[in-house]
Amino acid sequence: MSIRNRIVVVDYGMGNIHSIVKKIKHLGRDVFVSSNSDEILKSDKIILSGVGHFKQAMNNLRKSKLIDTLNQAALVQKKPILGICLGLQIFANNLHEHGLSKGLGLIDAEVVPFKKKNLFNIGWQNLEIVNKNEKFGNIENNNSFYFCHSHYLKFNQKKDEEECVGISKFENLVPSLIIKENFVGMQFHPEKSQKNGSNLIKNFLGWFPE
C-alpha cells in the first residue's frame, strides 16, 4: 500500500468502526484499523469515528496514549483527518456532558447539549451550505444526511464560524460540516447517508490540503 493510499480508522473503543470501514472498502479503497501510534502516524489519512459519551472517549484515548498522537498528526504532520459525530466533537475545546471534559482544542468551540433535556437528533436532516470550500470538493446544497446526536458545537468566536461549511436545523442551527485547514468534521454519519455520504467520503479520500 503506497503512502498516499494508506487510510487508517482509529480504534479507540467507541464503536461504529465497522460501518466506515465497510463503506471505504465499498468505494474500492484499502483501509486498516489501528490503535498503534506508529501506524497512525505513518498513515496518509486518518479517520476518527465514534458514538457514545465524550468523557469515556477521552478516557479511552488517554489510556491508549493516542491524544499526543492525534495532536502530532493534526498540528505537526498536518495529515488530513476526518472526524465523524463524536470524532468531530473530540476536536473541540471542551464538552459539557456530566460535567466538563477537555477536548483536543483544534476547534475553538464548546460541545453543548440541546436546550431541551434528553433531546436527541436522530434521523435525516438537510445540510445547508453556508460557506463554500472549493478545495474540499463540490458539495451540493440541501442534500440530506443521517444524524444521531444529543450535543452540538457552539463556536466561541464569531470569526471561527467561517470554518463551518454546512449547517442543519434541529431545535437551533447545528454546525454540521466543519473544514479547518487539514481537518474535516461531520456531525452526521456519512457512512450511513447513502449516496450523499459516499460522495463526501470520496471527497475526503481524494483530498490533499495545502
> Catalytic site residues?
85, 189, 191
Residue 152's identity, in one-letter code, is Y
CA atoms within 13 A on the CB side of 91: 27
- How many Å apart are CA 63 and CA 158, to the nearest integer? 35
- How many Å apart are CA 24 and CA 187, to the nearest integer? 18
The x, y and z cell numbers of residue 2, run together, are: 503506497
- Measured between its terminal Cα atoms, the distance across the chain in Å is 23
Bridge partners for 155 per DSSP: 109
Q: At what angle do helices 194-205 and 17-26 cross, to 10 degrees?
A: 80
For 3, other C-beta atoms within 10 Å of its C-beta total 8
- How many Å apart are CA 107 and CA 183, to the nearest integer? 9
What are the angstrom distances between the C-alpha of 23 and each of 153, 193, 195, 199? 26, 10, 11, 11
- How many Å apart are CA 60 and CA 72, to the nearest integer? 18
